[in-house]
Chains A and B, each alone.
Chain A
Amino acid sequence: MGFIRMSPGFISTVTTYFMMLGQSGSSTPAPITSRGFLVSHAQSSGEVGARLAIYKGTVPTDFSTLTSFNAKSADLLITYDATQYTSSTGINQFTGSQDNVNPMVVTTTYVNATATGTATWFWWFTTPLNGPNIWNNTVVPYNQIVGTVGITGSGADLTIPSVSIVSGAPYRIFNYRLQIPTEWTF
């Protein structure tokens, strides 16, 4: 089994900024697949958007059915997006998040739910944009994390006071913390 283990010195001094936001400097641009993730937003035309969406229904146990950004749209309750196509267009609903710490901290603006239901899982992904707020629906999202949603104290990956989501009501994510693993196996 392959593995990568980070040294304590590395963990303590290198921020997750680059992991999360991708290459934003002008001197050493990186290819798109390595760019922005999670709370990132696109830096220029043709790049990626990030979405953290909350769903009802059966929690996926793998990524086999998550083949495009709207693969589970029938169960979709709320979306938080970062879809800036250029510096002046698109939206960023992750305002207030911190992506230069580990664990990273995610805070969103209030967004109205688009459907009513019992929240059971979330899907966090990046996928290409075809323009400001225009998701590319023809490709598998580049990067994805799936976790459970439950009430506070439930032990779910993302906990909220109530999982009963009401269409039209405003919700936000506040201080959600994601610990970036320091060892990967494959």
Chain B
Amino acid sequence: MALLYYTNTKSLFSGAILRNLGNASTGQYSPFTLGVTVYSGAAPTAAAVAASWATYNSSTPSFLVHYTNMTWGQPGQATLLQMTGAPTPVTPINNGTATWAIIWAGQPTAPQLASSTLPFTKFLVVSVSDAVGDGVIRFTSTALTTGGGPVPVLDASMASFI
């Protein structure tokens, strides 16, 4: 049979992954701030993003919104990594239903996001959902519009596994 992983263990791995991502970016394991880009459509593999970033940069219609300075931390023993500091709300640049996101090992700039060159080789592709879904990144509503004003991130957590 395949190995059985306890839910906490999945969280431990994924939380440690993100923590390493933060460390790669800032030299700090916790807390740290990262950039997050939100997309619509079917989520690709991480390898696909790395191989063809030009089809995921900010000129693509599925690129909905990018946040800087999302702070991650671990508030206590009973919780794993989660967003402890929300980024400033941002107005989407395209309309669409948010379904997946990239958590970057750093803070890509607007020119980097528009470039055909991958901003950072270290990143995670994660799920996005509304408040009742199981996304790593969650919004009050995943229906993002350019005319609706700045959109805040509701929450973000690796504790979804538990």
**Chain A residues packing against B (C-beta within 8 Å):** 1-10, 13-14, 18-19, 23, 25, 28, 30-34, 37, 59-63, 125, 141-148, 157, 180-184, 186
Contacts and interface: CB of A to CB of B under 8 A. Distances in A.
Contacts of A23: 29
Interface of B: 1-10, 12-17, 19-21, 23-24, 28-30, 43, 45-47, 49-50, 74, 76-78, 80-81, 105, 120-127, 129, 133-136, 158, 160-161
In order of increasing CB-CB distance, the 10 nearest A-B pairs are: A9-B121, A144-B6, A2-B134, A19-B16, A31-B77, A2-B127, A5-B125, A146-B4, A5-B46, A10-B122
Contacts, number: 151
Contacts of B78: 33
Nearest to A121: B1
Contacts of B7: 186
A2 B128 CA distance: 8
Contact of B3 (A32, A142, A146): A146
Contact of B21 (A10, A32, A157): A10
B62 to A, nearest CB: 17
Nearest to A16: B16
A10 B5 contact: no
Contact of A4 (B9, B14, B19, B23): B14
Contacts of B43: 3, 5
5 contacts: A3-B126, A9-B123, A13-B122, A145-B3, A180-B13
A4 B101 CA distance: 10
A142 B5 CA distance: 11
Contacts of A184: 10, 13-14, 161
B58 to A, nearest CB: 18
Contact of B30 (A5, A8, A30, A146): A30
Contact of B160 (A2, A60, A145): A2
B16 A31 contact: no
Contacts of A8: 46-47, 50, 121
Contacts of A10: 17, 20-21, 24, 46, 105, 121-124
B91 to A, nearest CB: 26
Contacts of A61: 4
A48 B127 CA distance: 31
Nearest to B126: A4
Max chain A CB contacts within 10 Å: which of B2, B8, B129? B8
Contacts of B160: 2, 186
Given A4-B124, A10-B121, A63 B6 contact: yes
